Structure 1
Amino acid sequence: MLRYKTIDSPAGPLTIVVGETGGVRAAGFTGDVSELLPLIHPTLRADARPDDDIGPVLEHLRSYFDGAPLALDQVVVEQHVGGEFIAHAWRVMREIKPGSPVTYSEFALLAGRPAAFRAAAAACARNPVALFTPCHRVLRLDGSLGGYRWGLPVKRWLLDFEATH
């Protein structure tokens, strides 16, 4: 059984889905959990119920929004995908520090495949754990925002917030 909670954040409603052990399996800037469940790999997917107690992730989120963006590094995520590169890219993405966004090309280089900028972009697009695996910190080559599943205003807010903290 999965548990989820929606909180009000400065960037809009944020729903977090956790597994049995408290690891985040999906997160996104939406108040509708049904938008998140299909993002979870089928081997990690289950019925979800609302729960006010989704573990320590809430404390880390409070710290993040109070101005300590590194607090999210402590959150355990449970992501799974069939492709080895995307799984590796998600681990690398978690190492991109707040206030230090990278381009898709730089991200591909960090992930060990400098020519694979399209695969790096795909890793961002398929990320089910927004904010905790910070795909918002990856930008187009020209430094523009590119896309973001939860909307460019949310991506801009997150980047501006992290740049000032």
Structure 2
Amino acid sequence: MTAKWSTIDTIFGPFTVVVDSQGAVLASGWTAAADELLALIAESLRPHEIRKAADLGEVSRAVHRYHDGELDATAEVPVAQRSGPFREHAWRVLREIPAGKTVSYRDYAALIGRPEAVRAAATACSHNAAGLFVPCHRVLRGDGSLGGFRWGLELKRQLLDHEGGQR
């Protein structure tokens, strides 16, 4: 499969998105290096070739709109991630956490339907390849501290502030 990628300048720095031939996000994050994102894509979805595109249509527009303050702009953009049933379900649940709202890892595990699986819920966040489109930055530690984030804690703080998140 051939995929396309594009890097968009945002208020938080470069943001790169890799999309499949149907326009679903395979990976994304605050980096200018598309190659850095390829390693995050499940092997069954990983493209054999990627081509740079100046614009990714609706995906690029959604990224711009989010960073310009339309915080739900990425919610309807399709995402393609593969793993086991628990993790795939966990990623779908993450997409239901609205901008401006945060949850603890414990609350997130409960939303997934497995309140005892707090570590598994945290692991689902850490394996999320589609940053922003699957908003793992909205999950915090039980004490309200930031926890981890692939793109750095300072960026996680900035995203939550941008969204008016309650911590």
Q: TM-score, normalised by structure 1?
A: 0.96
One-letter amino acid of the counterpart of residue 163, structure 1:
G
2:114 aligned with 1:113: yes
Q: Which runs of 5+ in 1 are unaligned?
A: none
One-letter amino acid of the counterpart of residue 65, structure 1:
H
One-letter amino acid of the counterpart of residue 152, structure 1:
L
- Find the counterpart in structure 2 of residue 151 from structure 1: 152
2:59 aligned with 1:50: no
Equivalent residues of 2:10, 2:64 under 8 A apart: no
1:28 Cα shift?
Answer: 0.8
RMSD of the alignment, in Å?
A: 0.9
1:53 Cα shift?
Answer: 2.8
- Find the counterpart in structure 2 of residue 135 from structure 1: 136
- Find the counterpart in structure 2 of residue 75 from structure 1: 77
Higher helix share: 1
**CA offsets, 1:51-103, max 9 Å, x none?**
1132211111121112111111121111111x111000000000001110100
Separation in structure 2 between the aligned mates of residue 141 and residue 156 of structure 1, nearest angstrom:
16
One-letter amino acid of the counterpart of residue 43, structure 2:
P
Separation in structure 1 between the aligned mates of residue 92 and residue 29 of structure 2, nearest angstrom:
18
Equivalent residues of 1:60, 1:74 under 8 A apart: no
Separation in structure 1 between the aligned mates of residue 14 and residue 146 of structure 2, nearest angstrom:
21
Q: TM-score, normalised by structure 2?
A: 0.95
Separation in structure 2 between the aligned mates of residue 33 and residue 141 of structure 1, nearest angstrom:
33
**CA offsets, 1:91-147, max 9 Å, x none?**
000000111010000000000000100000000000000000000000011010001
How many residues are treated as equivalent by the alignment?
Answer: 163
What is the aligned-residue identity percentage? 50
- Find the counterpart in structure 1 of residue 26 from structure 2: 25
Q: Which runs of 5+ in 2 are unaligned?
A: none
Separation in structure 1 between the aligned mates of residue 39 and residue 114 of structure 2, nearest angstrom:
28
